[in-house]
Structure formats: structure tokens, C-alpha cells
Amino acid sequence: MEAAEQIKQKARELGFELAGIAPAGPTLDSLFYQRWLEDGWHGEMSYLEGRRGEIRSDVRSLMPSARSVICVGMVYNTREPYSTQAGPAETGWISRYAWGKDYHSLMKRRLRRLADWIRETHGPEARCKVCVDTSPVLERSYARAAGLGWIGKNCCLIDERIGSWFFLGEILTSLELDPDGEVPDRCGTCRRCIDACPTDALVQVEEPGGPSHALDSRLCIAYWTIELKGSIPTEHREDVGKHVFGCDICQDVCPWNTPRRAAVTQEEAFQPRNARPELAEAAALTADQFKERYDNTPLERGGHAAFLRNVATAMGNSGEPSLRIPLERMAASKNPVVREHAIWALGRLRAGAKRPGPDGG
């Protein structure tokens, strides 16, 4: 077997359902990425711009000797309900990717094992650099170039065999490996993700050779509930529904992600622990309790105060009168952002308001 096929087979043996090779160098999306930044669609995510933004255009900025990018995908989907299916009014929703343990360390361990195997097989001159999520790499672009899938209108990478519920990782290597070709875009005329997004965050763009749609993070529920540090815009709090951390709507409605079609993982680390939190219980968590409960999970990223902000917003959209008592306690919080959202939520409940739609409860 040639080197590329050997590496992809080893990646699958290590638990990566998807594996492919892309050439090192700039991707077709790198020019559009700069425009995306210039238009301010990244919101307050300053780590995406500046020097780290420039580096993303070409992996050789990270590793000058890189000749190939080994791209892998690991499924995290489990057989549990989707966010578009109504749940109990007193519960919130956490994004599917955050139900289990933090994927960064698991992915890195597996990729380091693959990198060690490459060096053992091809000699110490085979240089390797492991990247997972936090590295300044346009992951979806390289994964598309490696044949792992196409970038859909919901801006997610989609594989027609397993759907889009998978994490991405890369190994930059000095080996010159035969690249895999891109796969066809199979979204066709479907626009379910666009129509289902409650905030119209998926924006059509006119970019020759670029994507048909882009994400305006400033209108995205996942951005507000994970990345945003201050207050969620008042005019959009109703649209958040009961999302406490992240949003899965644009993937939940995708035909490639139906329960009949989407792949399911047996990985113990990704099994669901945090899907539908009880809102009253979540509101009562102290900072220490929050840390203990969500240690080594993606929920650590936002922090305790942002978590309470989101819980308060979800309570306000629940239409559940019994949640007024915990909200009244939150309205006395020393944190001004938590207090602001709790007061807003109390106003919603007193007015008898409830966001329509299954994702609202």
C-alpha cells in the first residue's frame, strides 16, 4: 500500500471514521475568510483576526516544511432527541457536541499516536504537527480539499455517509502524500437549514469560486451563548429559545443528519451526560458546583456567569411560571449581566410570553 493509504487506514484503526489527504498551501476559502473578517461577521471573536487570522490562510505559516495535511473526522453523534423536538418546559438545551467530555484532549491523544506511527514508519525526517480546533487552521477548508465532505449551506462539513456530527483534526506533515480530491456539493436546492434558523444567521453571499452561504456570527445563537461575553442583544433574546449552550438547529433539520442516516458513535467519552439540564437546578449552581459538574466538558469554555445568563434567558422563554422563584433569586445577583437577563426573563414570564416553536419548549 502506498503511504497515503497506509496513513488513512491507520487513522481509521485509531477511531477516526473519516481520513483524507490535502496538499499544504492556501485554500480557495482563504480569500473569502479575509472578507468575512472585514465584514465583521466574526463578532467579538478577536482571536480569529490579526496575525492569527493571517496565519490561517496557509498551514505553512505554522509549519514551513509542511507538504501535506492529513485530515480526520471523529463522530460524536448519539441516539438522543434533536433540539427541534420539544422537551419539558422546565428544561434547557445544550448543543450535541458538548454532551460528553471535552473532545480536544481525546482527539490530540489519538492524533499524536498517529504522528508517532508516521515517524516510526517513515523515519524521524517525517516531521509532524498535530492540530485540533484551537490551532489557526481553516479546518473545514482543508477537510473539504481532503475529500472528507462538502461545506453545506449551514457552513458545516457534511459527509453523505455519516452526516455532519463529527469533530475535525489535522496533522501537518513534511511528507509529500498523494492528495484526495474534493467530493461534490450535494445540498442541491435544499434550504431547510436557512429556513429553520430563527435569527437568519445563514447569509447568502456572492463570491466567485467561494461559498454560497456564510455565517454571520453576530446573529448566531451559538455565538451568543458560547462566545459572547456580555449581554445577549435584547431584540434577539426571544430567539434564543431554551438554548443554554450552543445551537444545533441548522444541523438537526439537515436531511443528511436524519436518525436513519447519521452515524452514531460508541465512544464512551461522547456519550450524553448534559443534554437537557433542569433550569431551576442549573440556576442554583455555585461557581464551584458549576466547575465540578462541567469539568473537562466544552461547557467550561463559557464560564459560570455566561452559563447563568443563558439559563436566565431560557427561563424567560420557557413559559413556565414555576421558574419565577429561581429567577427572582438570580435578579439579585451581584453579576450585572446575570441580573439584567434575570429581570428581563421575569418580565417575560409575568407577561405570559412564550417563544413559539419546538425549540422554545
Q: What is the pLDDT of residues 217-241, one digit of tens each?
A: 999 999 999 999 999 999 999 999 9
> 357 falls in which pLDDT band (50, 70, 90)?
very low
Q: What is the pLDDT of residues 154-168, one digit of tens each?
A: 999 999 999 999 999
> 206 falls in which pLDDT band (50, 70, 90)?
confident
Strand-pairing partners, residue 163, are: 159
Count the domains in the chain: 2
Which range marks the domain in which residue 256 is found?
Answer: 219-353
Other C-beta atoms lying within 10 Å of the C-beta of residue 82 = 17
Closest among 323, 282, 297 to 96, alpha carbons compared: 297
Question: Do 236 and 212 reside in the same domain of the chain?
Answer: no
pLDDT at 354: 59
Answer for the pair 126, 118: CB distance below 8 angstroms, yes or no: yes
Answer for the pair 19, 11: CB distance below 8 angstroms, yes or no: yes
pLDDT at 208: 66
Question: Do 13 and 133 reside in the same domain of the chain?
Answer: yes
- Checking if the pLDDT of 359 tops 70, the result is no
Question: Do 157 and 248 reside in the same domain of the chain?
Answer: no
Residue 255: φ, ψ to 5°:
-60, -25
Answer for the pair 213, 153: CB distance below 8 angstroms, yes or no: yes
- Checking if the pLDDT of 1 tops 80, the result is no
pLDDT at 88: 86
Question: Do 193 and 139 reside in the same domain of the chain?
Answer: yes
Answer for the pair 96, 270: CB distance below 8 angstroms, yes or no: no
Answer for the pair 252, 82: CB distance below 8 angstroms, yes or no: yes
Residue 118: burial class (beta carbons within 10 Å; 0-12, 13-18, 19+): buried
Q: Could you give the CA distance from residue 326 to residue 154 in angstroms, rounded to a whole number? A: 36
Question: Do 251 and 270 reside in the same domain of the chain?
Answer: yes
Other C-beta atoms lying within 10 Å of the C-beta of residue 302 = 21
Q: What is the pLDDT of residues 56-70, one digit of tens each?
A: 889 999 999 999 999
Average pLDDT (125-154) is: 95
Answer for the pair 102, 50: CB distance below 8 angstroms, yes or no: no
Final residue of a domain: which of 201, 218, 235?
A: 218
Strand-pairing partners, residue 151, are: 157
Verify whether residue 133 is a known catalytic residue: yes
Answer for the pair 43, 229: CB distance below 8 angstroms, yes or no: no
Give the three-class secondary structure for 268. Answer: helix
Query: What percent of the chain is modeled with pLDDT above 70?
Result: 96
Strand-pairing partners, residue 20, are: 71
The region of weakest confidence among 86-95, 143-152, 244-253, 258-267 is 86-95
Question: Do 300 and 187 reside in the same domain of the chain?
Answer: no
Other C-beta atoms lying within 10 Å of the C-beta of residue 209 = 8
pLDDT at 356: 45
Question: Do 165 and 234 reside in the same domain of the chain?
Answer: no
Final residue of a domain: which of 218, 237, 254?
A: 218
Strand intervals (E) in 197-325: 202-204, 213-215, 243-245
- Checking if the pLDDT of 361 tops 50, the result is no
Final residue of a domain: which of 200, 218, 236?
A: 218
Question: Do 294 and 201 reside in the same domain of the chain?
Answer: no
Q: Is residue 92 part of a domain?
A: no
Which DSSP helix (H) or strand (E) runs through 281? helix 279-283
pLDDT at 320: 95
Question: Do 206 and 327 reside in the same domain of the chain?
Answer: no
Question: Do 59 and 182 reside in the same domain of the chain?
Answer: yes
- Checking if the pLDDT of 360 tops 60, the result is no
Question: Do 145 and 226 reside in the same domain of the chain?
Answer: no
Answer for the pair 202, 215: CB distance below 8 angstroms, yes or no: yes
Q: Is residue 84 part of a domain?
A: no
Q: Is residue 359 part of a domain?
A: no
List b or e across 145-160, with b for residues whose CB sees 16 or more CB atoms inside 10 angstroms.
Answer: bbbbbbbbbbbbbbbe
Edge-to-edge strand order for the sheet containing 68-75?
Answer: 18-23, 68-75, 166-173, 128-131
Q: What is the pLDDT of residues 296-335, one digit of tens each?
A: 999 998 999 999 999 999 999 999 999 999 999 999 999 9
Q: Which residue has the cell 481525546?
A: 106
Residue 144: burial class (beta carbons within 10 Å; 0-12, 13-18, 19+): buried
Strand-pairing partners, residue 128, are: 173
pTM, two decimals, is: 0.93
Top pLDDT among 354 and 190 is at: 190
Q: Which of 58, 102, 133, 185 is the catalytic position?
A: 133
Q: Is residue 326 part of a domain?
A: yes
Top pLDDT among 66 and 124 is at: 66
Q: Is residue 94 part of a domain?
A: no
Question: Do 107 and 184 reside in the same domain of the chain?
Answer: yes
pLDDT at 355: 52
- What's the gap between Cα 63 and its chain centre? 25
Q: Is residue 304 part of a domain?
A: yes
- Checking if the pLDDT of 244 tops 60, the result is yes
Q: Is residue 139 part of a domain?
A: yes
Q: Could you give the CA distance from residue 352 to residue 361 in angstroms, rounded to a whole number? A: 14
Q: Is residue 83 part of a domain?
A: no
pLDDT at 255: 97
pLDDT at 358: 43
Answer for the pair 166, 159: CB distance below 8 angstroms, yes or no: yes
